[in-house]
Amino acid sequence: MIIQALYQRYLDLANDPDSGISPLYFSSGKVTYLLEIDESGELVGVRDIRNESGKKKVPLTMNLPEQASRSSGVFPYFLSDKAEYILGYYPNLATEKETLKKSSDALRKHEASHKLARLVLEGMDDPAAQAVLLFYEKWNTEQVREHPLLLTLREELDKGIDTNMIFRLNTQNAYIHDSPAIKAAWIKYREQADAATEFEGQCLLTGENNAPIARTHDKIKGVRGAQAAGASLISFNFRSAESYGKDSMQSYNSPVSKTAMFGYTTALNHLLSSSRNRTWIGDMTLVFWSGKPAVAEEIEPFLAAYFDPATDKGEDVGLTGQLKGILDRAREGKRLDMSMIPHSEVPFYVLGLSPNNARAAVRFFWQGNFGDLVLRLGQHAADFALKGYTERDDETPTIYRILSETMRVGGDGKNGPPPSLGGQLFRAVIEGKAYPYSLFVQIINRIRADGIINPLRTAIIKAYLLRYNRIQLKDRFEEELSVNVNPQANEPAYRLGRLFAVLERAQQDASGGAGRLNSTIKDRYFNTAASNPAAVFPILLKLSQHHMSKSRYGDFRDREIQSILLEVQAFPISLDLNQQGIFILGYYHQKHEFYVQIKAASEAKQEAATAVEQ
């Protein structure tokens, strides 16, 4: 399913000149230098064509004659390659022996590049083709370091980084590799090479019979953590994978035609190179795409904006803003259906990849309609809905923000959440499954460790329990798992969480208000109260009588305590982990209720003062 969807993506974009996707026998590559030659093959100019608009020079990306991955040995590329292949350039190293070895290697690579140029271009009646062949014949590799046009570039060339070069005839504007005649010659050469394949069969992707089968599959580049040379999505290198006498080393027991192999690998590499179609979650590289190119630019950025922590939080316009409005509707508890979602029937795909030695391991794959995806995101938004203290609390948190709550506050970030947790959380969001139990446990443990109970941590607890109960068809905690405080909820753990917040408020009132004390009962008793209520609540209630006697609002606190305890028959000896989550939720709900009351009183006071002035 995965490679079929990727191959279809390639077919959809291959004929679009603005898509940036490479046609068959071509690939996207980076170029740093332009070599200008005249019709006699003489080098007449060398230009650095990197983009200098930013702080650092960036090589240009363009479609080039196909550049298959190479890990060792001599393997030249056609008309676009490193300086050691095109020019036979070598660095001047510390010892003469090392320099001699480098120059010998560069000479072999230059000769291989020359041989490839002859195989493709010889016999062509084209000025550019003849100029390239004459250049190779005349070029003196022994004097390459002393060439006048290269002297100013030696420092950069010696580093051996980003030295890719292309050609241009000085009487023409187009690059030589872009010439229609040169392209046709390259395609003919590759087709003849494919016709000489050692194995033909039926392609698993296209169903084509007697198709040339790819011996190896092109590398996938852009998977974070994988090898710089790229990783294989399909490969075999052990004897037990052989079947019907086919050599597993060459992928023949998974027959994919060379054309189809090029298509799916090109499409995947194109997705991985685009910030619109790629993001990262934990150790997983995520790519996503629409099955309908006509609306891709409208709907694909939505998912990137939804999960990317660097998303601009400014005003959203167009379809992305409309879709975010749909998610806001879900957060408010309103109903969603397909009729509200634009392009709801468009196929959509999400693929998660992780590095595994020289391979790219598939961690996650989802396919469905765009409307299904938005509904799942809407359910996620509704599950995380919780009234907070700031405008940001009214947004659906990104996975990055959720995972950051499992990390130590003020830490260096080195001891972050388990790499697999992000993938598990993402799978739960997209597939509508239960949120990871490990996420719930880590949040509880983090609250125990640092005592911070913020809106997002509380929302994580609420969302986990809400979704778990829904999936398990349980009605436990149904009244407690609300957006705001629910005075009618009778679960003892919830009421005791609310009670603890009231007792803390009574202590603060007795001291003259919040922030006056260096520490409160929360700092000393919260963890025990949340796990073993019977051990501390009698002590806290006795202590509260002293606090309320000193407070001008003591009567209010006393009535709140009585109201909460009305449905509590006895203090539980212990609370399980789910009940501890409900305790935290009750505590947060009651604290937020105090915040709302104080804010309303402050606004009413300000309005009254304004009315008097007028």
Question: Does residue 36 contact residue 170 with C-beta atoms inside 8 Å?
Answer: yes
What percent of the chain is modeled with pLDDT above 70?
93
Does the structure show a pLDDT above 70 at 198?
no
Does the structure show a pLDDT above 60 at 318?
no
**């953590």: which residue's tokens?**
225
31 strand-pairing partners: 60
pLDDT of residue 400: 84
Torsion of CA 457, 460, 464, 465, to 10 degrees: 50
Mean pLDDT of 394-421: 79
- 72-98: burial string, b at 16+ Cβ within 10 Å, e else: eeeebbbbbbbbbbbbbbbbeeeeeee
45 strand-pairing partners: 36
3-state SS, residue 482: coil
3-state SS, residue 236: coil
pLDDT tens for residues 329-359? Answer: 888 888 888 888 888 999 999 999 988 877 8
Does the structure show a pLDDT above 60 at 493?
yes
pLDDT of residue 317: 44
Residue type, 537: F
pLDDT tens for residues 71-118? Answer: 778 999 999 999 999 999 999 887 888 889 999 999 999 999 999 999
Does the structure show a pLDDT above 50 at 557?
yes
pLDDT tens for residues 148-178? Answer: 999 999 989 998 888 999 999 999 999 999 9
Mean pLDDT of 463-481: 90
Confidence bin at 528 (pLDDT 50/70/90): very high
> What does pLDDT average to over the chain?
87
Does the structure show a pLDDT above 50 at 250?
yes
Residue type, 167: F
Residue type, 111: E
Does the structure show a pLDDT above 50 at 315?
no
Does the structure show a pLDDT above 80 at 222?
yes
Q: Which long-range CB contacts under 8 A does 233-242 form with residues at least 24 apart?
A: 233/3, 233/265, 233/268, 233/353, 233/359, 233/360, 233/362, 234/3, 235/358, 235/359
Does the structure show a pLDDT above 80 at 322?
no
pLDDT tens for residues 568-612? Answer: 999 999 999 999 999 999 999 999 999 998 888 888 888 877 777
3-state SS, residue 76: coil
Top-confidence residue, 63 or 317: 63
Confidence bin at 28 (pLDDT 50/70/90): confident
* Residue 431 to residue 423: CA distance in whole angstroms: 12
pLDDT of residue 239: 65
Mean pLDDT of 370-386: 92
Does the structure show a pLDDT above 70 at 309?
no
168 strand-pairing partners: 36
pLDDT tens for residues 79-89? Answer: 999 999 999 99
Task: Please compute, for residue 101, the number of CA atoms within 13 A of its CA located in the half-sphere on the CB side.
Answer: 5
